[in-house]
Amino acid sequence: MTYLRYPHLAADRIVFVADDDVWAVSPGGGRAERLTSDRAAVSRPKLSPDGTQLAWASRRDGNPEVYVAPVDGGAATRL
């Protein structure tokens, strides 16, 4: 069983954590899209108010750090 954690709604998407990655889905349902694949625990995903940027916390470099990336793809930047 997969546990969905830390849901956040902004613009036209819901983001959440499952299987240690951030996923997005339309509020109306449908197939979820994996947005990260860090191979490390992630938490607290948040979308920008316009829904174009995603921020989340990850332990991929050891300690918890905040990362941000465009929702439609692109490299993540550690803040």
Look up residue 53 and give its two tokens: 């940027």
Residue-range definition of the domain harbouring residue 34: 5-78
> pLDDT at position 2, please?
61
Number of domains making up the chain:
1
Predicted TM-score (pTM) of this structure: 0.88
> pLDDT at position 60, please?
87
The Cα 14–Cα 7 span in angstroms is 7
Instruction: Please name the amino acid found at residue 70.
Output: P
Over the chain (79 residues), the average pLDDT of each successive run of 10 is: 83 91 93 89 93 93 92 91
